[in-house]
Structure 1
Amino acid sequence: MEKTKELVFIPGPGLGHLVSAVETGQKILSRHHHLFITYLLMDMIPNDKPLYNYTQSLSSATTPPPRLRFTNVSRTQPDYTQELNPKNPSALLVEYICSQKPLVREAVLEIIKFESSQVVGFIVDLFCVSMIDVADEFKIPSYVFFTSSAGFLSIMLQVQTISDELKQDITEYKDTDKELLIPGFQNQVPAKVLPSGMLDKHGTFDLDMSIARGIRRSKGIIVNTFMELETDPMKALLSDGKNPPVYTIGPVINLKHHSDEDEKIRRWLDNQPVSSVVFLCFGSWGWLKGEQVKEVAAALERSGYRFLWSLRRPPMDGTVGSLNDYENPGEVLPSGFLERTCGVGKVTGWTPQVAVLSHPAIGGFVSHCGWNSILESVWFGVPIAGWPIYAEQHMNAFEMVVELGLAVDINMDRKIIVSSEEIERGIRQLMNGNEIRKKVKEMKEKSHKTLIEGGSSYDFLGRLIDVIVQDSIFSNT
């Protein structure tokens, strides 16, 4: 009997990484009906309830995703509270992922031995590039699933080139006004918008360089973006002979997620005029300090705009992990704020972002500029006011505001506290920005067309599948 052809997909930490990985898997399987995909999951974030709920919903669905399987391979979680040898959380995660290689090796052996399957490829999240070592042991081609932008991919690879080939110490740019020439960018990129750890010898610099080297070892790079959005960065990546082939398959977005909370918020939005509400949400890991919350509240109240604000409580121990909701948001908001704004605003906890952005009442999005959030806002034609918080979000904001003119800026300068005046100004620019609104609407149309037959992402996905299937005759030999 002919062996089934199977892909092993190793997602990265957090719900955003897993959801886009699953959506990508479903795209692949919808285009090739004889492939199977096994996801090897690692419990990397303690008490990550959204992640747990998502995986449970997939496992318990009456009609589970066809030809998708999920296997948990980890037995312990990383210790984020190391007192004797504290590390950056991202570094801890990558170290933990690397420690799971023996378990991944065992899982692949089980697939090969007991499932009569031919593993034809590894697809690994950028945080999981160490798993390319396992793929190499089995002589299986590996592909990196890059969950951020093509622009950030270009930056990572260029910084690695500067460090490894030109022998320049990029960390010397920390706290300076230095700018970088990055392939695919029309403007020089200020060093200050790079992830702070990339400019810190004691931060994630070594980790970022290790990831970049791992990416270059892969058979190909799958990027959740589309050519029409990031034309210049993609042209630069595709023309650089030192890079593996790059495949843009985005926007990869989960449009099917619903919950009871959706209905409560939707009912409120249904009573608001079209494009009248500014939506504030800072992602599953994004939160604001108490003083900053009060500045936001003052800005909203003065602006007079209708608003929906997803307000989350900081982690109790200050470590990485899922955020909780306030039992009483009034405890952190200015006295009387909820009463004074009850006619125009709504403060919630966790918010179904896709459901909100898809609602016609939403006129603008104050966002942390996570890449998934940017793609979702573009898909629904909602302009963004960028307020990046961590990771590569400052670079994403720079690309959207300066390079593409598809967003306005609230704060890219890493201020500890952003004043209510600055926030109000950004909100007014967002809600009154007719030119940006027009450009975002145009990009919305392109984001939809790129996924259908004849579109660039449709074609790139077809090329990727062809490469995987053609290479399968050489795998496991």
Structure 2
Amino acid sequence: MANALAELIFIPAPGLGHIMSTVEIAKILVNRDQRLFVTVLVIKPPTGRYGSAITDYIESLAKTNMNHISFIQLPQHESLSNYDPKSPMSMFSDFIPSHSNRVRNVVADMISQPGSRRIAGFVIDMFCTCMVDVANEFNVPTYMFFTSNAAFLGFKFHVQTLCDDLNEDVVEMCGSNTEILVPSFDKPVPTKVFWSLVHTKEGLDYVLRSVKKLREVKGIMVNTFFELETHAIKSLSADNNIPPVYPVGPILTLERSSSDEKPLDDEVITWLDGQPPSSVVFLCFGSMGSFDEPQVKEIAHGLEQSGQRFLWSLRRPPSNEKIEAPSEYKDPTVVLPKGFMERTNGIGKVIGWAPQLAVLAHRAVGAFVSHCGWNSLLESLWFGVPSVTWPMYAEQQMNAFEMVMELGLAVELRLDYRKDVFVPKGPDPVLVTREEIKNGIKRVMEDNDVRTKVKVMSEKSRLAVMEGGSSYASLGCLVQDFMKNIS
């Protein structure tokens, strides 16, 4: 059976960051061992701008010649009947589970084909734990590809311990101004930075159900590397009730397809070409990040008062109550302070959508004001650009806490800012003042200690994925485990 061919069934969540990371780890696996093949089962997101962006991305991939990787888009029409776009939990508790039967049918069809490859495992996303039961029906082991960090993974397990073993009220805890010990964090974690989902009973109930399923998987791939999260990885590995953890990161989408190119890219890069090295502060808040007009004006004043060069990705908030991606301003001056564009002409540039990876890679960029999505933080570390933390939703507050307080690799603007796009009717976030913004930007541009630490970690991130590196070795162990499943 040494030359047997193995099939992996990947099931990512219908989020752009999740799908892009899934495609990257799939490419790494099939390049590592030619006996591996991957079929990605794509859950098409609900309609809207965000859904369209994901569909466009998948269609562009399908047109490229990806050896050993194929894509199957799961039918959607009936599933949408289970989806309430105004309910933040509907995506996780209704929409994704409603695809279980479609996954079951696709896999059964694959197995029935003459000469089909043996399935070595399902590889599911953190929001697709419902698919563990489907894999069990086919007597196939399940693995998870965890698109966030190891410290947060440990937090998820600890939440279950708090509820089931210690009878703690986690929802009430979130509303208190206290700190608790979490084994995967070195320092006590403030409850105000806890993951958004555990702030409500509905969200917490979902988390507890998913963690119970997560304990059933055979292994967990984490998009991190040992040198970055040494404490967290050691704490996870020391717990016999947690499946084996494989740090395989950083997994980054470093190559962009031609379909990603936008006319603005050249203009942005040309502008950066004219700036001194490490002089530009880049502000970008992810695919779902946007602010209302009062906050936009505070950012503008803070940038102007800082005196720093800047590149600002400014997006228009969605106008409805659906979970929707921001759009572009036809004229950004309608929300900016009067005369701002003229006063900052030459030292600053306001754009819409940003080619984030290309910008972070540019020598002129010296700092990154970020929403603290894990993919974005890994990209900034890879290119040696220190971050300023402005978390918005999901687990980003915990990412910010880890980067600033645990690892010293970022500068704090806010750790507990919360503008949860998945709770459209949630409370309005507290305004971040121009003074805070100015001070945060000045600190990151002047803090040589953080800058030095980030440069060192940048080098370690690149060594980790090279032959002989920690993530390279971890991935090798994982591949061996896949192949044992079909022997």
Does TM-score exceed 0.5, indicating one fold?
yes
Q: CA deviation at 1:119?
A: 1.3
State the AA in 1 paired with 2:410: A
Residues 80 and 46 (structure 1), Cα distance of their counterparts in 2 relative to 1, 3 Å cut: farther
Q: CA deviation at 1:80?
A: 9.5
2:34 corresponds to which residue? 33
Pairing 1:261-280 to 2, within 5 Å after superposition: 261-280=264-283
2:287 corresponds to which residue? 284
State the AA in 1 paired with 2:132: I
Q: 2:129 aligns to what SS in structure 1?
A: helix
1:305 corresponds to which residue? 308
Q: Deviations over 1:157-216 (max 9, x none)?
A: 0111111222222112132112111113221001110023303224x1111222211211
Asked if structure 2 preserves the Cα contact closer than 8 Å seen for 1:78 and 1:92, the reply is no
Q: CA deviation at 1:91?
A: 3.9
Q: Deviations over 1:321-365 (max 9, x none)?
A: 332111111111111111211211111111111111000000000
Asked if structure 2 preserves the Cα contact closer than 8 Å seen for 1:378 and 1:443, the reply is yes
**Normalised TM-score (structure 2):** 0.93
2:108 corresponds to which residue? 109
Q: CA deviation at 1:53?
A: 2.6
Equivalent-residue separation in structure 2 for 1:11 and 1:197 (angstroms)? 19
2:485 corresponds to which residue? 471
Q: 1:242 aligns to what SS in structure 2?
A: coil
Pairing 1:384-395 to 2, within 5 Å after superposition: 384-395=387-398
Q: CA deviation at 1:311?
A: 0.7
Q: CA deviation at 1:82?
A: 4.1
Equivalent-residue separation in structure 1 for 2:125 and 2:80 (angstroms)? 18
Equivalent-residue separation in structure 1 for 2:321 and 2:308 (angstroms)? 32
Q: 2:40 aligns to what SS in structure 1?
A: strand
2:385 corresponds to which residue? 382
Q: 2:278 aligns to what SS in structure 1?
A: coil
Equivalent-residue separation in structure 2 for 1:169 and 1:197 (angstroms)? 14
1:462 corresponds to which residue? 476
Equivalent-residue separation in structure 1 for 2:138 and 2:84 (angstroms)? 35
Pairing 1:10-89 to 2, within 5 Å after superposition: 10-47=11-48, 48-61=51-64, 64-76=65-77, 78=80, 82=84, 87-88=87-88
2:433 corresponds to which residue? 419
Equivalent-residue separation in structure 2 for 1:380 and 1:290 (angstroms)? 32
2:220 corresponds to which residue? 221
Residues 319 and 247 (structure 1), Cα distance of their counterparts in 2 relative to 1, 3 Å cut: same
Q: CA deviation at 1:222?
A: 0.7
Equivalent-residue separation in structure 2 for 1:187 and 1:3 (angstroms)? 47
Pairing 1:121-136 to 2, within 5 Å after superposition: 121-136=121-136
- 1:367 corresponds, among 363, 367, 370, to 370
1:259 corresponds to which residue? 261
Equivalent-residue separation in structure 2 for 1:193 and 1:330 (angstroms)? 34
Equivalent-residue separation in structure 2 for 1:318 and 1:13 (angstroms)? 19
State the AA in 2 paired with 1:333: L
Asked if structure 1 preserves the Cα contact closer than 8 Å seen for 2:283 and 2:369, the reply is yes
Q: CA deviation at 1:317?
A: 1.2
Q: Confirm whether residue 170 of structure 1 aligns to residue 170 of structure 2.
A: yes
2:426 corresponds to which residue? none
Asked if structure 2 preserves the Cα contact closer than 8 Å seen for 1:14 and 1:45, the reply is no
State the AA in 2 paired with 1:312: R
2:425 corresponds to which residue? none
Equivalent-residue separation in structure 2 for 1:336 and 1:49 (angstroms)? 35
Q: 1:308 aligns to what SS in structure 2?
A: strand
Asked if structure 2 preserves the Cα contact closer than 8 Å seen for 1:266 and 1:356, the reply is yes
1:187 corresponds to which residue? 187
Q: Deviations over 1:59-87 (max 9, x none)?
A: 122xx22110000113236479849xx53
Q: 1:364 aligns to what SS in structure 2?
A: strand
Q: 1:377 aligns to what SS in structure 2?
A: helix
Q: Unaligned regions of 5+ residues in structure 2, if any?
A: 418-428
Q: 2:130 aligns to what SS in structure 1?
A: helix
- 2:297 corresponds, among 285, 294, 297, to 294
Q: 2:201 aligns to what SS in structure 1?
A: coil
- Percentage of identical aligned residues: 45
Q: Confirm whether residue 431 of structure 1 aligns to residue 445 of structure 2.
A: yes
Q: 1:123 aligns to what SS in structure 2?
A: strand
Equivalent-residue separation in structure 2 for 1:145 and 1:91 (angstroms)? 22
Equivalent-residue separation in structure 2 for 1:405 and 1:284 (angstroms)? 26
Q: CA deviation at 1:380?
A: 0.2
Residues 80 and 366 (structure 1), Cα distance of their counterparts in 2 relative to 1, 3 Å cut: farther
Asked if structure 2 preserves the Cα contact closer than 8 Å seen for 1:309 and 1:346, the reply is yes
**Normalised TM-score (structure 1):** 0.95
1:314 corresponds to which residue? 317
Q: Deviations over 1:210-242 (max 9, x none)?
A: 221121110111100001000000000011111
Asked if structure 2 preserves the Cα contact closer than 8 Å seen for 1:307 and 1:346, the reply is yes
Q: Deviations over 1:237-288 (max 9, x none)?
A: 0111110000000000011115133222111110111000000000001111
State the AA in 1 paired with 2:457: M
1:445 corresponds to which residue? 459
1:209 corresponds to which residue? 208
Q: Unaligned regions of 5+ residues in structure 1, if any?
A: none
Equivalent-residue separation in structure 2 for 1:49 and 1:338 (angstroms)? 32
Equivalent-residue separation in structure 2 for 1:464 and 1:221 (angstroms)? 10
Asked if structure 1 preserves the Cα contact closer than 8 Å seen for 2:14 and 2:42, the reply is no
Residues 181 and 8 (structure 1), Cα distance of their counterparts in 2 relative to 1, 3 Å cut: same
Residues 333 and 11 (structure 1), Cα distance of their counterparts in 2 relative to 1, 3 Å cut: same
Equivalent-residue separation in structure 1 for 2:184 and 2:157 (angstroms)? 12
Q: 1:128 aligns to what SS in structure 2?
A: coil
State the AA in 1 paired with 2:72: T
Q: CA deviation at 1:55?
A: 1.3
State the AA in 2 paired with 1:58: L
Equivalent-residue separation in structure 1 for 2:129 and 2:411 (angstroms)? 34
Asked if structure 1 preserves the Cα contact closer than 8 Å seen for 2:13 and 2:125, the reply is yes
State the AA in 2 paired with 1:354: L
Residues 80 and 439 (structure 1), Cα distance of their counterparts in 2 relative to 1, 3 Å cut: farther
Equivalent-residue separation in structure 1 for 2:160 and 2:215 (angstroms)? 10
